[in-house]
A and B are shown apart, each in its own frame.
Chain A
């Protein structure tokens, strides 16, 4: 089985978000970038397929040269090879078209992406990619097993779970549950040394359509101070929620 894991290079979850250039760009100043958490769960599941079922695992990122440390981290975790499509990921549809080209050229059986990236939260790349390639697709995937060409997945639905049966080639939008938080791997020195020797192939983008464009960003409005209720007078909270906030 040949697996492609799609990774986004995103601000660390603890990042404070600021905008620059007249609020038209995300301010990367002082921001630490990481593998998108939803993608990292998928990458870790891919490592399981590599170790237990002999799968080959490649990772791909659509981004400029500045994303290479994040790609190297994926190699240090254990991916065999990496591809970087040398283009800014201007929107989800554009990225899906770039990835479709990579998948076509690499003849992958299973494409693992995250449910969404935690920066732009588009949540559209895996589904668009599957549709462009006429592959099967399961979103919000929290469990995945593959036997031969048959895949069994569980997806999270609102208020429950759904068990799904499908076949390869398959694209999933994964999230926590594919593996547990405690299964995530911190690259060790040997992994980091080996990652330096692994192939990181840079390919140029294909002509693709952009369908959306972010024009301006805003930060949430500043909030007023909290209204404190004395712990000995809990009834006042009920009163405030009913009469002032009008939410009960």
Chain B
């Protein structure tokens, strides 16, 4: 008989095929879909997050674990009304206009997903208008913007200004990150926070939504 522990372990080891198999078995057994997510999939990912923080697991392993968890959730998702889907929060993520750097933002997305956030990836070279359009469409709790260049980081300010104009700034928290970004800069452009790396971005989101 399939059980939650087995499912968690499969998530921790990033065994995608097994996660799918066990999840399906649990569904077939009639186990509550929410329990599958909370006690199996997310529980496993919680262990992964803790181990990464302690330096016992590394980025590629976290990524594979997150990927396997997502595969499990995709199987369960159709069985749950969308408003009942457990989520730590919804984050819209993108690299600002004129900037094609992708890897840092992807790391943030991966870490957020692994800690139970729903992540909408707007991609790279995202203009203020596009960000606002995405916000209207997806209604995220948090907007996370990334920039690697001192020239493109100005796009963050433009986006925040546009959000204010559109009356969206009060509904959505804004966090920013990237090599040239600092706390001072975050204050200057009116962001709600700055995270120097992916792991602290998760902590920051937790704090902002607490």
Answer whether A and B are interacting partners.
no
* Chain B interfacial positions (CB closer than 8 Å to A): none
